[in-house]
Every structure is written in C-alpha cells, then in structure tokens.
Amino acid sequence: SDFSEGYSMVKTSMSIAGSDKRVLCSIMSITYGMINIWKEPIQAILPQLKDVYNMSLKYGLIDNALATGMFHAYRALFTGSLLKPFSKEVALFMRNNSERHKRRLMHLCVAPISNGISCLRGNSSGPQNVDEFITEEHLAEALRNKETTFCECMLAIKLMCSFIFRRLDEIKATVRQYLEPFERQGSASAQFVNIYRLFYGGLLSLHYYRESRDQFWLDRAEHAIQKMEVWTAESVWNFENKLFLLQAERHYASGEMDCAAEKYKLAQESSKKHRFVHEEALACELAAAFHENAGNVQFVAELIDRAVNCYQTWGAEGKVESLPLER
C-alpha cells in the first residue's frame, strides 16, 4: 500500500469538500479512522474521531457516526487509552446505540471491546477471561457470515487479552488456525486491526517457537516482523516500539541474548517515549522473564515493578492481580 499517496489524497479530498458538512463528515471518518493512523501519532487522532462522531450526529448522519464511534473504540483500546474513563465512553456509546439507533451489528462489534475492558480491569461482575466472551464459535460464525473484518477484530482482542494474561496454552489452537489465513488475506490491503493481529500473533508465535522449534511459528513471527518494519518506516511513533519488542523476542528465541537484551531496552524506551503505557508494561514484563531465564536476576524485580506501575496507570488491575502468580 502507498501510505504517503493515500495520506496526500485524503488531505486534498477534505479541502475539496469545503463547507459541505455532510460530505466532510464521511471524508473525515475515513481520513482519521483508516488513513492517518499510518502516518500520524495515533493518540492525536482519537480526539479527532470523537469530533467527527459528534459532528455526524449533529447532521443526522447516524451510520457515519456509529462507524466513527466504532473506529474510535477499537483504536482507543489497542493503543492504550486509560481504561477507567474509556470504559464509561464505551458504555455510553453502547447505551445510545441500544436506545436510539438500534443497530444490532454495531452492538455486536463493540461488545467485545466492552468485555475486554472489563476483563483487563478485573471487574468482578464481568467476564474473567477472554474465552468467556470470544469463543471459537463466535469466530467461526463471523467467517460463515462473511464478516471477515469483524472476525479479525474479535481475533485481535482475543490474542491481546490471552497474551497479556499469559493464557498461552488456551489460545494456541486458535492462533494456529487463524494466523496464516489472515496473513494471506491481509496482503492485499492494510487495515488498523492488522497491526494488532500481527503484533500479538507474532509475540505468541515466538513463544511457541521457543518451546517447540516448529518452523510454522517462526514463519508467522517473521511475517509479523517484516510488516512492522514496513509500517515503522511510515510512522516511527506508532510502530517502532512494537518492532523492537518483536525483534527482542526473536533474538531471545534464537539464543542471541545480548541482542535481545538491547532490543528489550529499546522497546521499553520507545513505548515510554511514544506514550504506549500498556506496551511499556508488556515490554518490561517480557524483559523481566528474559533476564530471569538468562540468570540476570538483579534486573527482574525492578522490571516487574515498572510493569506493575504501567499496568496500574493503564487501569488493568485484573492483570496486576495476576502478576504475583507469574513471578
């Protein structure tokens, strides 16, 4: 995909739309939701999506508003928006849809985000793990109905939550079943959800490769790294930290311990610099596991403490409660 050309074209489109607010709303939704994410800091795009959502409602463009609201919800979840205020935004969005707009598919698309937030926050009244709200049947039904993007969105949330909560054995069969087919489909275009399906799928694959030395897993990981290299060339801000963490795990899997240690450090620094607090937490946690295995026990406690602090800042108390069981 030619990201720079697309980025230039949407800017031109917005200028041509001029004062026609209805046309401008549609263009802005695509611009901020699908194009600018490849070039501009994602955190700066989230408020713009909120503005488009409100503007679309004002001009009676209900379908555009709901699509933009869904864009915002998925981007806010995966990019580490603070979970407590974000959960209130999602609840309000779902309530408005249920009471006023009654779009069933929109509710189905956003429900996994709401449940994912509940799981990460450790809400006792919500689901306790991702397998309770995204099942194999949910994924299979979406594919049967040819709702491929919805299937990939659910898969990405399932991979994310499973990896964060270290439910690695439980998710393995799903990863093996779905990663390769989505790789083939994703080669034709780039969508936001591809980023996190590849990121968490790559991390899971490298864990399985360390355990089994199965070439299947290494191929999946290499594909993820190659994609992240391409995207990092477009936006260092949005992708560099993810690339560093995948590279760290790749070096670890290959026994290149000095290179791995350096990449874990770079992943932590890049995540902090670019304000991905949840991925900083993950980089610290994985680095702690690496150093413990490498015998560098002097680094482990500090890294776990940093991970805990980052998870708490994010609002992922459910994850924090699970950490002592992993140490």
Amino acid, res. 82:
L
pLDDT tens per residue across span 160-170: 999 999 999 99
pLDDT tens per residue across span 49-85: 999 999 999 999 999 999 999 999 999 999 999 999 9
pTM of the model: 0.95
Q: Which pLDDT score is estimated for 186?
A: 63
With a CB cutoff of 8 Å and minimum separation 6, the contacts of 111 are 94, 133
Binned at pLDDT 50, 70 and 90, residue 327 comes out as very low
Contact 191, 160 (CB under 8 A): no
Q: Is the per-residue pLDDT at 324 higher than 70?
A: no
pLDDT tens per residue across span 189-238: 679 999 999 999 999 999 999 999 999 999 999 999 999 999 999 999 99
Q: Which pLDDT score is estimated for 188?
A: 52
pLDDT tens per residue across span 11-39: 888 888 777 888 999 999 999 999 999 99
Q: Which pLDDT score is estimated for 187?
A: 57
Q: How far is CA 53 from CA 18, 105, 173, in A?
A: 18, 18, 38
Least confident of 5-9, 97-101, 238-242, 290-294: 97-101
CB atoms within 10 A of CB 181: 11
Cα(113)–Cα(225) distance, rounded to whole angstroms? 26
Arithmetic mean of pLDDT, 293-309: 95
Cα(288)–Cα(301) distance, rounded to whole angstroms? 8
SS3 92: helix
Residue 86 token pair? 């974000």
Amino acid, res. 73:
A
Binned at pLDDT 50, 70 and 90, residue 325 comes out as very low
